[in-house]
């Protein structure tokens, strides 16, 4: 266990160094039957391994593994079912691919299992607030954590930026009490989660506000989301242009990590942005 923890902490630190030095790409690997974009494509071990390798070869700095769809209207699953989907795969991924891995879960039991195998980042869509044991689980393992803003229901009357800040204040206090180092925390405005279309756009526009207010890396997860279906009238497979546009706009506002399906295309887009920035 000590060897696993040592390797996990090394992967964590390597990823956080990348985030500090340049924009980082988080490749999405959903091992689910019902995710909105790629459900059922990678829910066998061999398909998942092949996709994870492809993501890393395309330029992903970390691979984010999700075993439960959290799309709007999804059917929640138990931590036992989540683990059943992960168990045949996770150890082989970590042993076979030289890259950091994150686990997309809001359940402490699932996070503990994943971290025990070497996953170095917990990507919690409820920002440590859904499962009371999550903050302690992350702290005990010494993992990094993505704290995402979320809401049970949409409320068009809300000042969504003020709501995000209230939420993050609460999450960061939970992290502090558990002993999670501030240097191990990243923030995600939660695009598509409990927000109207207008609030999603406002949250993206506030990327620099969040980065400045907290001094923490901001992660943007907009890949192929319904926001672009509404804006562009585009089906899921035709939303790459909207995704890249939003990610470039938030990169200009200080976002550091981008959770994407299409890694190679974003790597190219950011190479052009970097060339312009450094001209």
Query: In whole angstroms, what separates CA 180 from the centre of its chain?
Result: 18
Angle at alpha carbon of residue 68, lines to 81 and 262, rounded to 5°: 140
Q: Assess contact for 234 and 242: CB atoms under 8 A.
A: yes
Q: Annotated catalytic residue: which of 195, 225, 239, 256?
A: 225
Per DSSP, what are the bridge partners of residue 26? 62, 259
Tokens of residue 173, six digits:
């206090």
259 is a catalytic site residue: yes
195 is a catalytic site residue: no
Q: Annotated catalytic residue: which of 195, 239, 256, 259?
A: 259
Q: Could you tell me the maximum CA-CA distance found in the chain, to the nearest angstrom?
A: 52
Tokens of residue 91, six digits:
């150890």
Which is nearest to 121 in space by CA: 24, 234, 238, 38? 24
Q: Assess contact for 191 and 222: CB atoms under 8 A.
A: yes
Among all residues, which ones are annotated catalytic?
Answer: 225, 259
């Amino acid at each position: 266990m000590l060897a696993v923890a040592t390797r996990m902490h090394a992967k964590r630190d390597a990823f956080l160094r990348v985030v500090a030095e340049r924009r980082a790409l988080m490749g999405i690997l959903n091992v689910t039957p019902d995710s909105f974009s790629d459900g059922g494509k990678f829910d066998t071990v061999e398909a998942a391994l092949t996709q994870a390798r492809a993501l890393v070869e395309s330029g992903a700095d970390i691979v984010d593994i999700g075993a439960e769809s959290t799309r709007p209207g999804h059917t929640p699953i138990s931590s036992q079912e989540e683990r059943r989907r992960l168990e045949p795969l996770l150890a082989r991924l970590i042993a076979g691919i030289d890259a950091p891995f994150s686990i997309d879960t809001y359940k402490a039991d699932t996070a503990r299992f994943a971290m025990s195998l070497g996953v170095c980042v917990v990507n919690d869509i409820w920002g440590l607030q859904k499962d009371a044991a999550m903050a302690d689980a992350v702290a005990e393992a010494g993992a990094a954590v993505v704290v995402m803003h979320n809401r049970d229901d949409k409320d068009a009357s809300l000042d969504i930026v003020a709501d995000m800040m209230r939420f993050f204040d609460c999450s960061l206090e939970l992290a502090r009490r558990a002993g999670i180092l501030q240097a191990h925390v990243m923030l995600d405005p939660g695009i598509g989660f409990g927000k109207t279309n207008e609030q999603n756009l406002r949250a993206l526009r506030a990327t620099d506000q969040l980065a400045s207010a907290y001094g923490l890396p901001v992660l943007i997860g907009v890949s192929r989301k319904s926001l672009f279906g509404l804006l562009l009238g585009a089906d899921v497979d035709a939303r790459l242009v909207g995704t890249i546009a939003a990610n470039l706009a938030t990169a200009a506002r200080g976002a550091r990590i981008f959770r994407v399906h299409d890694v190679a295309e974003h790597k190219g887009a950011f190479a052009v942005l970097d060339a312009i920035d450094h001209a």
